[in-house]
Amino acid sequence: MTDTLIRSWQSVQEEVLRRINARIWKPGELIPNEAELASEFGCARATVNRALQNLADTGLLERRRKAGTRVATHPIRKATLDIPIIRNEITAKGFAYRYSLISSEKIVPPRDVIARMQLERGNKALHLVAVHLATGVPYVFEDRWINPGAVSGVEGIDFTRQSANEWLVENMPFTAGDITFTAMTGGRREAEILACEPGAGLFVIDRTTWTKDRAITFVRLVFAPGYRMHTVI
Q: Smaller CB distance to DNA: residue 64 or 230?
A: 64
1 touches, from DNA, a copy of itself, none (C-beta below 5 to 8 Å by class): none
Tell me how far apart the alpha carbons of residues 155 and 140 are, in angstroms, rounded to a whole number.
24
DSSP 15-42: HHHHHHHTTSS-TTPEEPPHHHHHHHHT
Residue 173: contacted member of DNA, a copy of itself, none (CB under 5 to 8 Å, by partner type) = a copy of itself
**28 scored as a contact of a copy of itself (CB under 8 A):** no
Q: Of the listed pieces 81-89, 111-119, 139-147, 150-158, which binds a copy of itself according to CB under 8 A? A: 81-89
| CA distances (Å), origin 40, targets 7, 30, 63, 86, 142 | 11, 16, 20, 49, 56
64 binds, among a copy of itself, DNA, none (CB under 5 to 8 A by kind): DNA
Q: Which is nearer to a copy of itself, 153 or 226 (CB)?
A: 226
Closest distance to DNA from the beta carbon of 35 (Å): 6
- Identity at 105, one-letter amino acid code: E
Measured from the CB atom, the residue of 35 and 85 that comes closer to DNA is: 35
Phi first, then psi, for residue 226 (nearest 5°) are: 95, -10
Instruction: Say how far apart CA 65 and CA 210 lie, in whole Å.
Output: 32
- Interface with a copy of itself in residues 84-113 (CB under 8 A): 84-85, 88
Give the CA distances from residue 118 to residues 75, 151, 177, 190, 221, in Å, rounded to whole numbers and listed in that order.
35, 15, 14, 26, 20
Residue 13 as a binder of DNA (CB under 7 A): the answer is no
Contact 95, 87 (CB under 8 A): no
Measured from the CB atom, the residue of 27 and 187 that comes closer to DNA is: 27
Amino acid at 106: K
Number of residues interacting with DNA: please give it, by CB under 7 A. 25
According to CB under 7 A, which one of 20, 55, 60, 69 is a site residue for DNA?
A: 69
Nearer to a copy of itself, 4 or 231 (CB): 231
